[in-house]
Structure 1
Amino acid sequence: MTDDSAKKKLLVAKQQLDKLSIFIASMAEFFQGSTPKIDEDLNAIKKLLSGKPDYQAAAELSVKLNSDLKNEAKYIKQQQLNSITQIETSLRKLNEIEAIDESVKSEIKLFLQNLSPSDNNISSPIGTFEKALGLFRKALSNNKVNKSHNEAKQQKQLHQQIAQELKTLILPYVKNNPNDKAINEIREKLDEGLNPSQLLECCLSLIRFVIKDVINEAGAANKLIHNIHQSLLKVNQGIKSTIEKSKVRIEKRVKQTADMQAQISAIETALTDSHKVEDLKQQAQHYLTKMQASLTQSEADDRIEQEKMIALLQSMQKRLSELENKAAGYKQKLLEQRIDALTDGLTKLPNRVAYEEKAINEINHAKQSNTPLCMAIIDIDHFKSINDKYGHSVGDKTLQVIATQIKNNLANTDFVARWGGEEFVVLLPNTQSNDAFKKLDIMRNKISKLPFMFKGNRVSVTISIGMLEILSDMRLEDAFEKADKLLYTAKENGRNQIQRKESHD
């Protein structure tokens, strides 16, 4: 080998060592921060390989560093396994949340199936983390959307419920004040549909009407009470006056009786003392004349007193009759108001207030008599689409027809009320669950076959029902909530059906 050839090979070897030194320095920077001991050895190697390299010392140190790096690789792999296990656990818990969208759940499931650490990869599972974080973001974002959607849906349902309640509440005012422009405007707005601010304005307006009506009613009641008080005061004054006059009359009678007694005594004396018949006749005639005058005056006084008494009694009777008529009219008005307060203006069925009164009484009776009591909540299927497609007047007519059909298919002892909107609540006292189910199912089937015609189109209207038997230990609110959930189940399962809960369930 020539010297030039040797020098060339040495130069090539030096260049390769320089490249290797640069690579080792870069690797040292990559592993920087693993552990303090490895950091110390890596810094030492970098120094040995920089400037005037000491390859011998660097080679000796690299043997020790190689051993430490193998141990560190095992530690990093274990850390990777632990991290992946944590990711897997977190994603599985995330997948159990009901609110998460099904498409995101499918992505999570697929990701979990493909999730496995690589035996050759000792670095942190950055890609895995990034994908897992992406799935978490999707799930959380979707959950927010669902939450926002659910809140909006609940607000819309509440808005519709309030609007329907207002329509029900305003009907008596429309009936009693058909020419009131403000009341008719509110009703028209409710029929057309309102935004939240308009609905609030309607609520305030109706509250003003209610307060005004209460004030007017209180004024009428006060006026009636005042009239009764004045009449009773006059009657009392008349009675007092009569008592006082009676006392004077009694005193006068006593005096007249005393006078007559004195005259009789005088006659007796005259009979005893008189010796002549003629004198006796004259004296007797004189005293008899005086007695006759006293009796005539007494009779006249009695007649005048009786006439006054009769006039007073007639006056009292007239005033009491007037009061009786006023009280009867007020009683009738109160009765009509109570009937209106307990009756749904549109369907003429009992309303929610009447239902609550009736339900409490029926539950107490069922407990005392140990008899069964069933409850059912009925809802008209797709009622909103009827309103939207054919108008509120058609929707109102549909409610009236359905209400009549429900009532006609129940016994006189059963009870049905309009709960609100397109919902009705039924109480079936002294009725076993199976019998109640049969009765309601016949009703459901008949209603589904009614020939509804909307704007020339034949439309089938159906109902869904949630039914249960009220147990002795159930509160009314709990029973209604359970029946409402059964109704929801009936709607979820396709509508036009009854979902029931047996008493032993």
Structure 2
Amino acid sequence: MLTQIQQLEFDTLATLEEKFEYAKSMHALAKFEEGLSYFRILKTEYETIQQFDRVLDCLGWICQNLANLGRVKELYNYMPEYKSMCNEHGNELNQLKLNVYLAFISSSIGDEPSAISYYQDAITMAKKLNDTKRYLICLLNLQAVYILIKDFEHAYDVSIEVKQAFEKDPEIKTTMSEAAYYLNLMAIQLEWKQINTIEPLFEAFESIPAIDKHKREQMYYQCMKGRYFNELGHYSEAITELEAAFTFIIKTEEEPFLTMILENLITAHENTGNYQAALQYAKAFNKKLLDTQKKRVTNETIKVIKEIDLDSMKQLVYVDGLTSVPNRRHLEKFGAKLVEEACQTNQNMYCTIIDIDHFKSINDRFGHIVGDLAIQQLANVVSDVLPEDCLFARYAGDEFVILVPQQPNAEHYFQQLFSHITNFEFQTAEMCVRLTISMGVASLNDCEVKELLTLLDLADQALYQSKNTGRNLLSLYGND
């Protein structure tokens, strides 16, 4: 959750560009949730002023943060919009980033051949652009995929490329890239039983500047040392390293390291005669296999969807990434058609704008991450009560729009709708938050110019009346 100081720093910055740079700084601090929330806000604000180059940048950072958080489904949902924006407003660098995200998704759902192909394309593009940083990252990620599928020959070939890249340009070395290089090489040498080559790699890893501050990399290192000690028959030392790694990784359930740690812990405890501990880890291992099987079912579903070319999934360009409901682009395109059809058939139509009360104070008090949850929860609540013939879309920030066909008793209908939606609550890990909404409604019959923009403007005036009168209210345009 955002600290109050971080919250104030972001909200009080004077310009969007300052906020953009501040959101980028979250990445260097590994505060991916915060960065994700900030870039979602900025994306909406840049869309409002039609600064599409920055919208594209925000989409890229949203995808990067989702990748760092391992939230594959959400990342996948952003891909069609990102690809569409790349085609309309992007350049080769944006296409390079797109390939990296597609590779990450493919690897996460077990489609390693696609992941390899995307990383290879990205590496080619990075070379062309002389983007040594992304070239190195793609090499290391490609190597990790080869290790995952036990193609150690290709993985070792990539190690040589990484080493050459380090020698050619030492400036591209970071703590994490150097750690990844040595950890991947350890995995290859252990698999090949080249035990005599491992200790120099341990020494090189331990000499990486600031490596002690990187807990995740330290956990991987403990895993490798545990495997190494098992190979030597030093089972007590293996247990010490592996149990330290297990304590860390049990919180994240990362594959394939959790499975590897459990397998090696079972071996080590069996060889020391501690069968009770071996049985305990064997149960955890079996549970992990069952969980992996369940996860595989979900991933296979995503994989089937992914096999459809993104160009044939244009409808996903019209889906809001945060809430999974239609977005503003969808409303402006298809809502305008609905209004036009209603006019042609002399049917009335209603436009409702919904807004969370005191949303800024929610962000100020609880942080933008909780604010995102509030927006998601409101979208869920509204989606659950709306009939299929309504068009529901996220318009901007915490504002949603509903287009409702002609109703015989409109005032009663919207009063019922309002009572179902307001006073909703949602649970976070730390608190229960109860929220209210304000609603404004206008109809085509209220419009002099019968078009969507006019309808939205009148509904917005009715919403303002609800806000100005005291909030947690429904107002119909023209009613005092």
TM over 0.5: no
Larger radius of gyration: 1
TM norm structure 1: 0.37
